[in-house]
């Protein structure tokens, strides 16, 4: 079985837990997930099955979308409400206009310092391991991109105001840290209260199944109904059609001269190549020096 299954991850499960469960359901070992979600987080978790595990790196590179709830007036060591409270502030007064204005200041490329409770390595050790030892170390900031951020709803009259926002961001963005930084921009401590991933690698919640639904589909022999084609992971790349002779060359992993193709390509860009009957062949790279498409990954 090859393809991608989009699972709606439940709260309280690690991404590894979900992979282990799906391995038991579909009775296969070769499964990889495209982007870890913390246990408290729910949402889209694409799982690549069989040969489609070769698509994981491409899924991980693509933007992700989230809906988050931020609580003002609370700061924790984990940057969400599961952690130890470090600071509390009451009587906070902010307006909807202030919140909207501050949110828009985060659109574009920003610097983020990874949280201590994260899997980033410093001197060969995971930050969360150091954090559990009670240690705090200096972390280098990273560039991430916020493509869009919108206020969804707000309860600003509470003693500790909360509001929800949606965000589309690049890989490597920590939404917990974004919540803390938004609070800092508003002049108050803040922590993430809730988080849902609504899109990952172009795959949305509408394409997801729950673990319970997956078990039912497997029992009924209908699992393939929810199996997404592996090339959905790269549907943002230029699609190129090959004729019969070019298809034969591509399947042998040979370079394909530009003059054998009908389409033109951007310099050093990746394309997805299809043969007759729209069969997905693989990923190729346009090489202007060689004037040829070079095979990167051949699938069929």
Q: Which residues are catalytic?
A: 38
Phi, psi torsion values for 78, nearest 5 degrees: -100, -5
For the chain, state the CA radius of gyration: 22
Q: Are 210 and 98 in contact (CB under 8 A)?
A: no
What tokens were used for 118? 């994260």
Q: Are 114 and 139 in contact (CB under 8 A)?
A: yes
Helix pair angle (15-26, 211-219), 10° resolution? 10
- How far is residue 241's CA from residue 253's CA, in Å, rounded to a whole number? 16
Which of these, 201, 170, 256, lies nearest to 32 by C-alpha position?
201
- How far is residue 22's CA from residue 220's CA, in Å, rounded to a whole number? 16
Return the SS3 of 261: coil
- How far is residue 147's CA from residue 54's CA, in Å, rounded to a whole number? 27
Span between the terminal Cα atoms of the chain, in Å? 14
169 strand-pairing partners: 64, 146
- How far is residue 147's CA from residue 202's CA, in Å, rounded to a whole number? 14
The DSSP output letter for 104 is H
Q: Are 28 and 203 in contact (CB under 8 A)?
A: no
């Amino acid at each position: 079985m090859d393809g991608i299954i989009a699972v709606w991850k439940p709260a309280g499960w690690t991404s590894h837990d979900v992979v282990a469960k799906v391995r038991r359901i579909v009775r296969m070992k070769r499964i990889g997930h495209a982007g870890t979600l913390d246990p408290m987080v729910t949402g889209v978790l694409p799982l690549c099955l069989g040969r489609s595990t070769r698509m994981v790196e491409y899924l991980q590179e693509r933007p992700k979308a989230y809906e988050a709830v931020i609580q003002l007036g609370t700061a924790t060591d984990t940057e969400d409400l599961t952690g130890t409270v470090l600071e509390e502030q009451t009587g906070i007064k902010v307006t909807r206009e202030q919140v909207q204005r501050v949110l828009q200041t985060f659109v574009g490329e920003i610097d983020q310092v990874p949280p201590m409770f994260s899997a980033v390595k410093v001197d060969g050790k995971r930050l969360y391991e150091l954090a559990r030892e009670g240690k705090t170390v200096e972390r280098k900031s990273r560039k991430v991109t916020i493509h869009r951020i919108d206020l969804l709803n707000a309860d600003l009259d509470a003693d500790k105001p909360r509001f929800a926002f949606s965000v589309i961001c690049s890989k490597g963005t920590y939404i917990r840290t974004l919540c803390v930084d938004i609070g800092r921009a508003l002049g108050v401590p803040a922590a993430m209260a809730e988080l849902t991933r609504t899109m990952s690698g172009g795959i949305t919640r509408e394409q997801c199944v729950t673990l319970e639904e997956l078990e039912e589909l497997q029992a009924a022999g209908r699992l393939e109904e929810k199996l997404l084609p592996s090339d959905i992971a790269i549907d943002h790349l230029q699609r190129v059609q090959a004729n019969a002779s070019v298809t034969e060359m591509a399947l042998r992993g040979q370079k394909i001269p530009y003059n054998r193709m009908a389409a033109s390509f951007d310099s050093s860009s990746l394309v997805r190549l299809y043969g007759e009957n729209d069969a997905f062949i693989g990923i190729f790279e346009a090489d202007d020096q060689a004037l040829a498409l070079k095979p990167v990954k051949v699938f069929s």
